[in-house]
Amino acid sequence: MAANEAKSSIQVIERMMTLLDALAEHTSPVNLKLLATETGLHPSTAHRILSVMVESRLVDRIEPGTYRLGIRLLELGNLVKSRISVRQQALPYMQTLHQELGETVNLSVRQNDEVVYIERTAPGGSMMRVVQIIGTRAPLHVTAVGKVFLAYDGAGSWTEYVKRSGLRRYTDNTLTDGEALARELERIRGQGYAFDNEEAEKGVSCIGAAIYNDEGRVVAGLSVSAPSDRLNKEWARTVRSTAEQISRAIGYRP
């Protein structure tokens, strides 16, 4: 008897989720007949489950027989969103990427015209000196992730950055010409990743990709740093793929 009750409860939950998915497909309130048709549920069954969901505020009854997603879902969604930490969500993926490539993996965010490194996984005993130590800042135009932020910052915003920063030179490879930077940003938008070719520090190169939140905004960047003679540009797709996985983990849906 207990097994049958458990099976029945699971079936109700599955039907409830089916109804929520059906409601989510519509931008306006949906009548019971259409919901029953789309979910394959008998109208009386759909009505019974919807009534319970209305009581729980998961669904709103707009008028008799017409429903939409309820405000309780928004409250729960905001609660989930407030508790999501990009760093916590990213760390397992960073560790996996580090194990796969054997090189330093960085997580950074943007603050004004700089990137700030907030997490890092590095090979034990690595003697490579890199600027990407947690809490360290770097100008946007000299780092792979910084260029990613510029690339997705809206049309023309890079020109304002050029005026503010003056594109200060850090190495012989630093992009100090606005038009050259513009061409670089266009390539980044096309391929979904960026390179730092010894532009911040001589002898160190980097590959970076964007991390998006549930609103489709770039909120962080993932990057792999290595001595230039070890860095393989073929890793770029792997870095981009890992950044996409982190984006989905924090709610992004393309």
- For each of the chain's 254 residues, which pLDDT tens digit applies? 456 666 677 888 999 999 999 999 998 999 999 999 999 999 999 999 999 999 999 999 998 889 999 988 888 877 766 666 888 889 999 999 999 999 989 999 888 888 888 888 876 644 444 444 667 889 999 999 999 999 998 756 878 888 888 888 998 998 888 888 889 899 999 999 999 989 898 999 999 999 998 888 999 999 999 999 999 999 999 999 999 999 999 888 88
Token code pair at residue 36: 């029953």
Question: Which residues is 116 bridged to in the sheet?
Answer: 109, 137
pTM over 0.85: no
3-state secondary structure of 95: helix
Q: Which domains does the chain have, with CATH numbers?
A: 2-79 (1.10.10.10), 84-249 (3.30.450.40)
Tell me the one-letter amino acid at 85: S
Contact between residue 222 and residue 208 where contact means Cβ atoms under 8 Å apart: yes
What letter would DSSP give residue 233? G
| b (16+ CB within 10 A) / e for 41-71 | beeeebeebbeebeeeebbbbeeeeebbbbe
